[in-house]
Amino acid sequence: MSDMQPSINRAQVEQMVRSSLLRKGAASNSASSTQGQGPNPLVVNISARHCHLSQESVEILFGKGHQLSPKKWLYQEGQYGAEESVTLIGPRSRVISNLRILGPCRDFDQVELASTDAISLGFKIPVANSGNIKGTPGCMLMGPAGFLKMEEGVIRAAPHVHMAPEDAAFYGVENKSFMKLRIGGEVGLTFDRIFVRVDPSFKLEVHIDTDEGNACGFTPDTPCELIK
């Protein structure tokens, strides 16, 4: 009987590792309810790296007339992860493949990365609220139909909470104010500057990035609490 084992090449190993990480990421991005007694349940989600694009930019990258196709609906009404993704090329010519586009299209282009993503690509990016992109670094995006040079728009999104007016009234906060988010668990911590966004269409949801989620050991059953 032969003792020879079937060989596995590097590409197969990388694919297995990638698949494992994707499964783990899908689990860690799940929602977590708080113990609070507000009018609506609090959800905390980890926001992985992604980009927002204008319709014009979508057509540059995917071809004239192309429309984004929803792949996965997100917690906020009408928001989705698209079937389409792009390749991000950083200043050190390092790349991130399969950078997910979130839809629907916006009036501006924006890439949101965690700090570890930015360091590996060679970016020095600010912590900024979505849409506050003036003076931020740019990058190159590559799609199946072409390249898009962004002059600005690469940020690390500030942790923030979406809420409806009744939630804002319950917590005693206003649009564009700040709250704290207390995370429980074995390595729990408190985020001191959670930016508040209030709109009648919003569901109560906090977004933190992957670095922040890892720092506090966030899991779907981690207890969370919003504090004024």
Instruction: Decide which of 138, 157, 176 is a domain's last residue.
Output: 157
pLDDT at site 31? 39
For residue 136, is it within any domain? yes
Structural domain count of the chain: 2
Q: What percent of the chain has pLDDT over 70?
A: 84
pLDDT confidence tier of residue 93, bands split at 50, 70 and 90: confident
Q: Is the dihedral of CA 12, 14, 20, 23 positive or negative?
A: negative
Q: pLDDT tens across 30-68, in order?
A: 334 344 568 999 999 999 999 999 999 999 999 999 999
Question: In this structure, are 148 and 61 located in the same domain?
Answer: yes
For residue 108, is it within any domain? yes
Q: What percent of the chain has pLDDT over 90?
A: 82
Question: In this structure, are 61 and 116 located in the same domain?
Answer: yes
Q: pLDDT tens across 142-170, in order?
A: 999 999 999 999 999 999 999 999 999 99
Taking each continuous run of H as one helix and of E as one strand, the counts in the chain are 5, 16
Range of the structural domain that residue 126 is part of: 47-157
Highest-pLDDT range among 4-8, 19-23, 62-66, 93-97? 62-66
- The token pair at 96 is 């991130």
pLDDT at site 38? 84
Is 70 exceeded by the pLDDT of residue 25? no
pLDDT at site 218? 95
Question: In this structure, are 102 and 42 located in the same domain?
Answer: no
Question: In this structure, are 176 and 195 located in the same domain?
Answer: yes
What is the mean pLDDT of the segment spanning 66-86? Answer: 98
Question: In this structure, are 125 and 166 located in the same domain?
Answer: no
Q: Is the pTM of this model over 0.85?
A: no
- DSSP conformation letters of 205-216: EEEEEHHHHHHT
Element (H, E) at 147: strand 146-150
Nearest to 86 by CA among 64, 116, 65, 110: 110
Nearest to 162 by CA among 212, 200, 213: 200
Question: In this structure, are 63 and 130 located in the same domain?
Answer: yes
Is 60 exceeded by the pLDDT of residue 129? yes
Report the CATH number that the domain containing residue 222 is assigned in CATH. Answer: 2.40.40.20
Question: In this structure, are 68 and 98 located in the same domain?
Answer: yes
| pLDDT, averaged across the chain | 88
- Encode 64-87: b = buried (16+ Cβ within 10 Å), e = exposed: eebebeeeeeeebeeebbbebbbb
pLDDT at site 36? 54
What is the mean pLDDT of the segment spanning 72-92? Answer: 96
Question: In this structure, are 137 and 150 located in the same domain?
Answer: yes
Question: In this structure, are 128 and 61 located in the same domain?
Answer: yes
For residue 223, is it within any domain? yes
Name residue 149's amino acid: K
Question: In this structure, are 193 and 153 located in the same domain?
Answer: no
pLDDT confidence tier of residue 5, bands split at 50, 70 and 90: very low
pLDDT at site 27? 35
